[in-house]
Each structure stands twice: as structure tokens, then as C-alpha cells.
Amino acid sequence: MSSIRLLLCVLAFCSPLRAEDTSSAGLAAQLQPFVERHTLAGAVTLVADKTRVLDLSAVGYADIAQNQAMRPDQVVWIASMTKAITAAAVMTLVDEGKLSLEDPIEKYLPEFRDLWVAAESDETHRLLKRPSTKITIRQCLCHTSGMPFASPMEKPTLDALTLRECTLSYAMTPLLHEPGSKYQYSNAGINTAGRIIEVVSGQPYEVFLQKRILDPLKMTDTTYWPSEEQLSRLAKPYKPNAEKNGLEATTISQLTYPLHERTRQPMPAGGLFATATDVSHFCQMLLADGMFDGQKILSPAAVQALSSRQTEPGLPENYGLGVSVSENSFGHGGALSTNMTIDKKHGLVLVYLVQHAGYANSDGGQIQPTFQKAAIERFGKK
């Protein structure tokens, strides 16, 4: 073998995994039958451990009508997966001693000192009373604050109000139940935590997030406002057609178009766009107890709090801080069926990115589990 040929082989072996080095030959190929049955347009799947990407591949189409294949570097709306990233930003301030999860939110947002909670409610009347306890930051992050999903002012889209305007609208909206008494999935609670970041840090939420989370984690394609180049890689959303025998293109109804327009407001509860690689960096940091690329992003204690059950005793739901938790894993999904899972038992990060509006991609909810099962069988710790 010539010295030049040998050098090329060495360089190819040593080069880090890049998007162009991957294709449907990876684990995403397991999902090809769903593409052929027209229940899945396309998907990007990624498997990693604490330090390495083990598999990054794509299958199907980013745009069916244009015959555009899904790419490993496809940009997607990750929706509520944003909640975990916002929670991590909050925990950087907890690490610094600048706030506590047990702090009442009214300590930072005085508008919440005049709250009401619904004591009785039906279609014709609502009886209000004062809540017996104060809402804490912890309850905002684990959906037991009593706040609704959104306020009546957040219509027709969820990205029209500034965070200050959002929290003022939440303070004017009666709580659905006493703080800590029930689990109620709430964008409002996470957005309120985002507003507290602004007040404590003295920076806009999106600036703080960029400096403290996105930049250190090298999440270069993660943004609230996709650029022209990123929009060229944005996968088209799909939903089941009326006949339930195929897919039809749709739009993201929760967001204002055009998506690059900066008049749209950052939404801590669900506004981010990202790639699989970017999401994996965030997940790897959590799997590595707060470390990424030799840099400390969070303390082990912060990661432990984030990934442990925080919902009150007696409630059936297991939710941490911005993530759902189970005995061996934690993570979060998004409105268009995206998902990230940190599997502590097998030491793996599993990222599943699609743009599908409908129950778990239809097909009996088996598409994502098919990928996860194949990933654990191939890469999981024995």
C-alpha cells in the first residue's frame, strides 16, 4: 500500500462521525417498512454514549411531494423537548446559589401575589378563592403549579407574547387547582420559569440560554428562529389523511409564520428547532452528570434533581424538572412525535426526530419503540 493511500485510510478511520458519513444503512433503516406503509414520512435516529455518536442515520422523506430524502442533519421543530433545555438553564442558576427550587415565584414576579384558584367551575359560573399555598419554581418545572396549559391571551399562536406579557397573563388567569395538589401539563409553568431566568440573570431568556447552554454544548443548529440555510433543511410536517391510509402535509399551528421572523417570541416551553446531533449533545451532558467536552455545564446534584421524580407524593405522574422520569431513564417528547431518551441502565442516548402530527406516528405506536429496541439490542450495555 502506498504511503498516500495509507494516510488516507488513517484519516478516514480517525475522522469524527459527520452527517454526510451516515445514511439509511444505519438503525433508521429499521423504520423503512413504516415509510413503505405511508404511516411515516421520514425520520432521523441517533444513538450515542457519553462521548461518542454510535449511529446517526435517516430514512424516508423530508418532503414527499418534492422527493427530498430525509438527511441526518435535518432541522425539525422539537417542541416540548425545549422544556428540558429550559429546566437545565434554571438549574445553572440553582448551582450558582442565585435561586432555589423552593422559592415562591412571587419572590421574582410580584404579579403572582394576587392569585386566585377555582373552587367551583362549570359552563355557567366559576367560584374563586385564594390558594392556600404559594407556587414554587419546582412546581412550575414539574407541572404541579395549578396553571393551565396556556392563558386565554395566547391565541391563535403561542409565540406572540413576550415572556413578561405571558407571565402577566398567567397571573390574571385563575389556577385550575391548588399548587401541588394535581399534575396538569402546563406550558405556562415552564414559560414562567423562563421569565424568572430573565429577572434573576438580568438578560433576555434567549440570550442566557445561548450563553449558558447552547454555545457550551455546541448546539449550533438549535434556535428559535431558523436561518434561511436552516429553513432549507427543515423537514415538512405531516399528519394522517382523512382516509387514514396515507399522509398529508400540514403546518405547525402553534407557531407564527414566517418562522425566521424575529417578531416571533422565544417560547421556553416549546419553541426550539434543532438537529439530532444538537439534541444528542444536550443528552450526553445529562448522561455524563453535567459534563460535556471537558466542560462542566451542570453539577451532578443538578442533573440528579432534574432527572428524579419531583411531583408531589401521592400523585401518579412521574415527572422531574422538564423531563418525564422512570426507574432507568428520563427524557421528553414533542408535539410532532419527536423524542429524546437518556437510558441510564444501558448507558445510551436515544434521539428520534420526525415531524408527525398524530398518535405516536400512527401504526399502533410502534415506530419509535422499533428504533429504541434495535438501538438497545445493538449498543446497550450487556
Q: Element (H or E) spanning 120, and its range?
A: strand 117-121
The residue type of 303 is V
Q: Which single residue is written with the C-alpha cell 419503540?
A: 369
What is the pLDDT, as a whole number, of residue 359? 56
Tally Cβ neighbours within 10 Å of residue 125: 7
Give the CA-trace dihedral at 139, 142, 146, 148, to 10 degrees: 140
Q: Which single residue is written with the C-alpha cell 407541572?
A: 143
Q: What is the DSSP string of 314-370?
A: T-S--B-SSSEE-SSEEEEE-TTS-EEEEETTTTEEEEEE--B-SGGGSGGG-HHHH
CATH code of the domain occupying 99-203: 1.20.58
Q: Is the peptide bond before 300 cis (omega within 30 degrees of 0)?
A: no
Nearest alpha carbon to residue 367 among 21, 76, 38, 63: 38
Tell me how far CA of residue 85 lies from CA of 177, 197, 229, 276, 284, in angstroms. 27, 13, 23, 14, 13
Per-domain boundaries in the chain: 21-84+207-379, 99-203
Regarding pTM above 0.85, the answer is yes
Q: Domain spanning 21-84+207-379: which superfamily?
A: DD-peptidase/beta-lactamase superfamily (3.40.710.10)
Tally Cβ neighbours within 10 Å of residue 256: 15
Residue 213 grid cell:
447552554
C-alpha 329: how far from chain center: 15
**Domain 21-84+207-379 matches domain 99-203 at the CATH topology level:** no
- What does the DSSP 8-state code read for residue 248? E
CB 193 within 8 A of CB 163: no
Averaged pLDDT, groups of 10, the chain, 382 residues long: 39 36 70 94 97 97 97 98 98 98 98 93 84 98 98 96 98 96 98 98 98 98 98 96 89 95 96 98 98 97 98 96 96 96 97 85 78 95 70
What is the pLDDT, as a whole number, of residue 124? 80
d(CA 37, CA 45): 19
How many CA atoms, within 13 angstroms, populate the side-chain half-sphere of residue 240? 15
What is the pLDDT, as a whole number, of residue 333? 96
d(CA 353, CA 339): 6
What is the pLDDT, as a whole number, of residue 125? 82
d(CA 18, CA 25): 14
